[in-house]
């Protein structure tokens, strides 16, 4: 693995409270996760991304922190967390955690002090306005659940800003004391042994909010400060962030105007994610080709993080109304499947009709395109959602380990579970679980293990270039390649239902005994690449050549 370890990583994200419960209280915990590390190692995971672990009021799934220097007691102790880092490291797995510092809970001691008096030492740690801001009802992140971004606090006798829910007041990043505190928080967890952070809502962290100005300025230099700070503490520390912004703004999150890549290491590729969903819905690769063509070139050392499903909704806000309608029609036809007027709150397996061919095709696409793949827990076994749960909780049900009560997640009584397990229909835990798939060589879990092993043998996918093969191809077929110092790979994906034959003989000059290394079925040898067969919803990973040092 290169010094940029994140470029060739396989990231697995999970909520500790819904993964594995070791003490029978109905809530997943750190010790339960430690007991499942061997499972993750076998799957091929090299980086574990943990959703918020801090003490919380439990009003927003942990994103309303009350203490950034501790672990939620329901999950365990700091000692348990240190043991998790140690045991994960023994298995070659790095751990990154959510850094949710755009806001705090309104029960955080800082805010409780800030609202208590105008002369509180923490008053200026938050964003206040003596007058009602004219943009009070603009910029909501959760339309339908929020109706304002400024709320009046009777105790504080002023209006306070909250980009998210009312109970999550925003910190004031124009205050040097706040910036210094964020760096201390990062130093604390780096010293404990985390490999980096997934920074939540990064565009709002660099926003210098001005009452009445819905387009307040952004201070990108703060990202440079954070990068410099964490790398002095741990040279290989990772900053992975969420910034669903227009393409023209993306490069600024990675590099300064001089081109120095001194800000974030990685961003989630929301642009590609939306286009992937559109391509799958239309059975047409053109949206993917457009994404590969239109996304700005990244500076050296910068990287995309790719995903199909994450812990939030599928965000379609970057698509046009017509494009969004096509995705809704195919994957979210019922109103209860949609959320925030922009997204879909479902897992991928049910979205694709539990069609194994389409599920493999979708993940083969994600894992072979540019960037570092991020996999959401449960996707590797094809878990479903529970649309009876509110909002995003629909896709945050407990991990399904076995046919034991509560899916083997917990020994607690069902009514004590942090969230109910999926226990009916096609995705019932008695039908979809790790144990059953472990005993089935043809299972989705077994396929994920093979696919990830194959990816690990092709480092050029993560650290090399990714280019669309711009040749005339049958309808529905996408061809792209990855090239790097380790060699070259060719990928074929058929998003349509009809089998096709592809002529890529022009690439044969670049090849050295080309051969299939992963495919949806057994195909004839690739030969001179001039008659490559591919089934409907099929895929082929073809090794074109390998550098001598990697032979």
What's the helix, strand, coil split of the chain in %, to 5? 35, 20, 50
- Nearby residues of 29 by Cβ (< 8 Å), 6 or more positions away: 16, 17, 20, 21, 22, 23, 74, 75, 76, 80
- What gap in Å lies between CA 5 and CA 230, rounded to an integer? 16
145 catalytic? Reply is no
- What gap in Å lies between CA 371 and CA 98, rounded to an integer? 20
- What gap in Å lies between CA 226 and CA 264, rounded to an integer? 9
- What gap in Å lies between CA 520 and CA 532, rounded to an integer? 13
Number of Cβ within 10 Å of residue 334's Cβ equals 9
Find the Cα–Cα–Cα–Cα dihedral 132, 133, 137, 141, rounded to 10°.
Answer: -120
- What gap in Å lies between CA 19 and CA 206, rounded to an integer? 33
Helix (H) or strand (E) holding 324: helix 321-331
Structure-block tokens of residue 478: 């996408």
**Which residues, in sequence order, are bridge partners of residue 373?**
306
Burial 48-82 (b: 16+ CB within 10 A, else e): bbbbbbbbbeeebbbbbbbbbeebbebbbeeebbe
The catalytic position among 17, 242, 313, 520 is 242
Handedness of CA 438, 439, 442, 444 (dihedral sign): negative
Structure-block tokens of residue 262: 């001194």
Q: How far is CA 115 from the centre of its chain?
A: 35
- What gap in Å lies between CA 511 and CA 505, rounded to an integer? 10
Nearest to 238 by CA among 269, 267, 259, 258: 267
Burial 478-497 (b: 16+ CB within 10 A, else e): bbbbbbbebbbbbbbbbbbe
CA distances from 163 to 41, 139, 536 (A): 38, 7, 45
The catalytic position among 200, 313, 385, 483 is 200
The conformational region for residue 152 under phi > 0 = left, psi -120 to 50 = alpha, else beta, is: beta
Q: Are strands 314-315 and 303-306 parallel, antiparallel or unpaired?
A: unpaired
- What gap in Å lies between CA 171 and CA 162, rounded to an integer? 9
153 catalytic? Reply is no
Are 165 and 60 in contact by the 8 Å Cβ rule? The answer is: yes
Nearest to 280 by CA among 231, 316, 304, 245: 316
Are 495 and 283 in contact by the 8 Å Cβ rule? The answer is: yes
Are 344 and 316 in contact by the 8 Å Cβ rule? The answer is: yes
| Active site residue ranges | 200, 242
């Amino acid at each position: 693995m290169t010094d940029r370890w994140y470029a060739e990583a396989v990231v697995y994200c999970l909520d500790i409270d819904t993964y594995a419960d070791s003490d029978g209280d109905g809530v997943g915990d750190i010790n339960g996760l430690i007991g499942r590390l061997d499972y993750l190692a076998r799957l091929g995971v090299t980086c574990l991304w943990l959703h918020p672990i801090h003490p919380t009021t439990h009003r927003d799934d942990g994103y309303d922190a009350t203490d950034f220097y501790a672990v939620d007691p329901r999950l365990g102790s700091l000692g348990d967390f240190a043991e998790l880092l140690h045991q994960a490291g023994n298995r070659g797995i790095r751990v990154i955690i959510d850094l949710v510092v755009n806001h705090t809970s309104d029960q955080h001691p800082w805010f409780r002090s800030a609202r208590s008096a105008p002369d509180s030492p923490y008053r200026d740690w938050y964003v206040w306005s003596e007058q009602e801001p004219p943009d009070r009802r603009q910029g909501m992140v959760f339309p339908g659940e929020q109706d304002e971004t400024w709320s009046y606090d009777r105790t504080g006798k002023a209006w306070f800003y909250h980009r998210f829910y009312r109970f999550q007041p925003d910190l004031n990043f124009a205050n040097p004391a706040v910036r210094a505190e964020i760096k201390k928080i990062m130093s604390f967890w780096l010293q404990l042994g985390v490999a980096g952070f997934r920074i939540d809502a990064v565009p709002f962290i660099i926003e210098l909010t001005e009452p009445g100005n819905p387009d307040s300025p952004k201070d990108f230099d703060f990202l440079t400060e954070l990068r410099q700070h964490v790398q002095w503490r741990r040279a290989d520390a990772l900053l992975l962030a969420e910034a669903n912004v227009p393409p023209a703004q993306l490069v600024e999150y990675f590099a300064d105007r001089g081109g120095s890549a001194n800000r974030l290491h990685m961003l989630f590729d929301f642009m590609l994610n939306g286009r992937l969903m559109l391509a799958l819905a239309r059975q047409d690769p053109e949206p993917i080709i457009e994404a590969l063509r239109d996304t700005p070139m990244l500076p050296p050392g910068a990287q995309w993080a790719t995903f199909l499903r994450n812990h939030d909704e599928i965000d379609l806000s970057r698509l046009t109304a017509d494009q969004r309608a096509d995705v809704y029609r195919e994957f979210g036809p019922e109103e209860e499947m949609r959320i925030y007027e922009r997204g879909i709150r479902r897992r991928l397996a049910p979205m694709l009709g539990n069609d194994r061919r389409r599920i493999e095709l979708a993940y083969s696409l994600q894992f072979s395109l540019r960037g570092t793949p991020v996999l959401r827990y449960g996707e590797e076994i094809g878990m479903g959602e529970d649309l009876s749960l509110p909002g995003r909780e629909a896709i945050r049900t407990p991990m399904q380990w076995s046919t034991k009560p509560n899916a083997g997640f917990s020994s607690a009584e069902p009514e004590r579970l942090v969230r109910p397990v999926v226990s009916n229909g096609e995705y019932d835990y008695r039908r979809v679980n790790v144990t059953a798939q472990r005993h089935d060589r043809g299972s989705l879990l077994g396929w994920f293990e093979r696919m990830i092993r194959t990816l690990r043998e092709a480092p050029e996918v993560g650290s090399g270039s990714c280019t669309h093969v711009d040749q005339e191809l049958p309808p529905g077929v996408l061809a792209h390649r990855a090239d790097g110092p380790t060699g070259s790979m060719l990928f074929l994906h058929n998003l349509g239902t009809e089998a096709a034959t592809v002529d890529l003989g022009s690439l044969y000059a670049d090849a050295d005994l080309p051969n299939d290394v992963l495919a949806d079925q057994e195909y004839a040898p690739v030969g001179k690449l001039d008659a490559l067969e591919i089934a409907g919803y099929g895929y082929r990973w073809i090794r074109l050549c390998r550098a001598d040092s990697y032979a």
